[in-house]
Amino acid sequence: QSDLTQPPSVSGSPGQSITISCTGTSSDVGKYDLVSWYQQHPGKAPKLIIYEVNKRPSGASNRFSGSKYANTASLTISGLQTEDEADYYCCSYAISDSWVFGGGTKLTVL
Amino acid sequence: EVQLVESGGGLVQPGGSQRLSCAASGFTFSHYWMHWVRQGPGKGLVWVSRINSDGANAVYADSVKGRFTISRDNAKNTLDLQMNSLRDEDTAVYFCVGGWNYKFDLWGQGTLVTVSS
């Protein structure tokens, strides 16, 4: 049950787009289309923003989109807004009926 | 309004035990898988355990297997986590999470467990 690999930080200016990668293995990201993404503001609980690689839950902004190729999933945020500044975590269902998270990426909106 | 309210956190000595509880309301608790996810101080999210909707099946992360036990009471809409043989590295905020189809939909605000002498 190893962590998925995310960049520690990314940054962008308002209005720009950024992409956060999430690299796993053939036992998790590569095996299942069950990657989800979570946004966490400081001191708050995480919030689901993408599930099953590229689906948005009700209420999530359409500026969030997801994709996957082989063992790597990606989250793209378009039209960056100041309120997007937060930590982002990917997560994948994995073999042995378990879940594994990425280490998290801190997004700074300059 | 959907609510998940954790309780039971606090300071515990290494080797000790602690029981966390989560009270659910505002949704059909018995339909959801329930999980515990933890977050160490300044660290990332870590999945801890899952119990299925009827409570018949539970799975655990390797780091807690044999020490933690998850349980639920669908009549009372509650989820518990019994934690034994606690270690320093178990220090974290523990989130109660409701999940549907392999994702984490509903989150509580968390309860802090500090393992220290």
Residue with tokens 């099946």: B57
Residues 6+ apart with CB under 8 A from A98: A1, B47, B59, B61
* Token pair 């297997």: residue: B65
* Tokens found for residue A46: 């995480």
Q: Confirm or reject contact between A100 and chain B (CB < 8 A).
A: yes
Question: In chain B, at which residue ranges do the beta strands (DSSP E only) sit?
Answer: 3-7, 10-12, 18-25, 33-39, 45-51, 58-60, 68-73, 78-83, 92-100, 103-107, 111-115
Is the Cβ of B68 closer than 8 Å to some Cβ of chain A? no
Q: B103 and A48: CB-CB below 8 Å?
A: yes
* B105 interfaces chain A, CB cutoff of 8 Å: yes
- pLDDT tens for chain B, 117 residues long, are 999 999 999 999 999 999 999 999 999 999 999 999 999 999 999 999 999 999 999 999 999 999 999 999 999 999 999 999 999 999 999 999 999 889 999 999 999 999 999
- Ordered DSSP codes for A24-66: --TTTTTT-S-EEEEEE-TTS--EEEEBTTTBPPTT--TTEEE
DSSP A5: B
